[in-house]
Amino acid sequence: MKSSSKKESDKISCANTLAKPKTDRMICPNCKSPNNKVLETRQQGESELRRRRECLDCKQRFSTIESWLIRMPYVVKKDGAREPFDGQKLRRGLQLACLKRPVSLPQIESIVQKVTTRLSAAGEREVKSLEIGHWVIRELKELDHVAYVRFASVYSTFEDINEFVRSLSHDLENPSAKSELQ
């Protein structure tokens, strides 16, 4: 068996075996050896698999993520403009709508995941921004009434997550505008 007294020379030799760059195996970030074993595999959400690996040559441990590579449909706004779906924007909008409300980050994350999964499963080239807003609103309704009203009132007016985030930030920073939200 291999001892733990591996030296620099070994690192160099295993790096050299990788002179051919073509490999379909995960290579070690330290010594670039393709020889590693999986120590642990963990499912993260529905779409992600994380693997903890150990390099058999230099013993470096590292993690890899396997996830779906998905072609998402374009989001069509009310004015006809198209843009790629941005889960991060949706997340921010939700976080703002749920500010100081009893909705946890995992719950928000779950909505983002559901919307993302639904969009990818739709198989459409384009999805209306309004439709996405409705999916989110339906999910929020189950969780918290205030967050739901905040999201619904602003989203249905603007139908644009960017404008929505801007407007909601503004409202939350200005207490005078608060009454509109409740």
Binding site for Zn ion (CB under 5 A): 28, 30-31, 33, 55, 57-58, 60
Q: Work out how close the CB of 30 gets to Zn ion at its nearest, in angstroms, rounded to a whole number.
A: 5
- Measured from the CB atom, the residue of 11 and 92 that comes closer to Zn ion is 11
- Measured from the CB atom, the residue of 28 and 161 that comes closer to Zn ion is 28
- Measured from the CB atom, the residue of 57 and 159 that comes closer to Zn ion is 57
Q: Work out how close the CB of 21 gets to Zn ion at its nearest, in angstroms, rounded to a whole number.
A: 16
Two tokens, residue 131: 């439709």
Beta-bridge partners for 88? none
| DSSP character at residue 29 | T
Q: Work out how close the CB of 17 gets to Zn ion at its nearest, in angstroms, rounded to a whole number.
A: 11
Tell whether the torsion through CA atoms of 124, 128, 129 and 135 is positive or negative. Answer: negative
Of 65, 66, 1, 55, give the one whose Cα is nearest residue 30.
Answer: 55
Q: Work out how close the CB of 54 gets to Zn ion at its nearest, in angstroms, rounded to a whole number.
A: 9
- Measured CA distances, 77 to 74, 132, 164 (Å): 10, 10, 13
Between CA 146 and CA 125 the distance in angstroms is 33
Number of H helices, E strands in the chain: 6, 6
Q: Work out how close the CB of 40 gets to Zn ion at its nearest, in angstroms, rounded to a whole number.
A: 18
Q: Work out how close the CB of 5 gets to Zn ion at its nearest, in angstroms, rounded to a whole number.
A: 15
- Measured from the CB atom, the residue of 54 and 163 that comes closer to Zn ion is 54
- Measured from the CB atom, the residue of 16 and 43 that comes closer to Zn ion is 16
- Which amino acid is located at 71 in the chain? R
- Measured from the CB atom, the residue of 57 and 160 that comes closer to Zn ion is 57
**DSSP string for residues in 29-68:** TTT--S-EEEEEEEEETTTEEEEEEEETTT--EEEEEEE-
Two tokens, residue 64: 């890899």
